[in-house]
Amino acid sequence: MDAIPLALDGYLTGYPVPGDRDDILCWRLSCSAGTDHMAEEAIIPCTTMEPEIVHALLTERQPGDLLRVTGHLTLPGTASGVIQLHVDTLEVLWEAPLLDAEENEDEDGGDTATVADPDADRNSAIAALAEALTSLGHQAAPGPGQSVRIHLSPTGALGTGLEHCHSIDLTPARAHQLADAVDALNCQLDDDRPDHGLVLDSQTIADLTDLFDDIDLIDLTRTVLNATRPEHRTAVTQAMDDMFGDAPAPDDTDR
């Protein structure tokens, strides 16, 4: 059967191992169909004979790295055979951070079994975010060549944590809507954040007081209303009253 040209994005599930020949390297990629359902996850066996790819996988890559590979997929001739992707090119899309083993050791050498799992909250947050983004993506399925892909994963060396990795495809329109929602959330957080440490000196306060004391509200109202179209004057007057208080209109004052 002819080999099928194929490109895949997936997470390196473990360290590569030598093949049945010295110049062949074998590894596996965990590939997602774009949702958080395990039935749509696939583990693809990969091999390569390209020296630069062999060198990179043995010396630079680690489990959890997100890779993009291209090559040719060979299907087995029998039901008991194995599918393999023979890789010609490899691109690193995201590098899993190195996890310092010393940080995970108990400095006192004591029993750590009773310590709460520090990853539980993070993993539940990843699951909730993946579910929300997946739902957003399903509302408008991306067309070929038109999707925006978002990758979610925990920090640290993955290896056994691949069930918390997700890839979600969005249309450009949905991606813009998501960006607008994040901007709105940022604005809300900025408004809710208390303003600490802002203290005006006495001279600045005095200058501001003099500035507002010098404002003639009647003259200001007259100037604004003269520049306002007649049909808008009632609304403008109300807006100025809300800003400065109930200032008398020019027609209500003695000249």
HSE value, Cβ hemisphere, 13 Å, CA-based, for 152: 22
Mean pLDDT, range 149-159, rounded to an integer: 70
106: in domain: no
- Does the pLDDT of residue 19 top 80, yes or no? yes
Q: Is 40 or 191 the better-scoring residue by pLDDT? A: 191
131 and 248 part of one domain: no
Q: Give tens-digit pLDDT for 130-146.
A: 777 777 766 655 555 57
pLDDT at 53: 94
The structural domain count of the chain equals 2
**CATH number, residue 64:** 2.40.50.140
Which of the residue ranges 38-42, 145-149, 198-202 would you say has the lowest mean pLDDT?
A: 38-42
Q: Is 227 or 136 the better-scoring residue by pLDDT? A: 227
Q: Give tens-digit pLDDT for 54-94.
A: 999 998 898 888 899 999 999 887 877 788 999 999 999 88
Cα distances (Å, whole numbers) of residue 6 to 68, 87, 90: 11, 9, 12
* Domain range enclosing 243: 202-252
Whose tokens are 């959330």? That residue is 185
45: in domain: yes
Task: Return d(Cα 96, Cα 234) in angstroms, integer.
Answer: 62
122 and 209 part of one domain: no
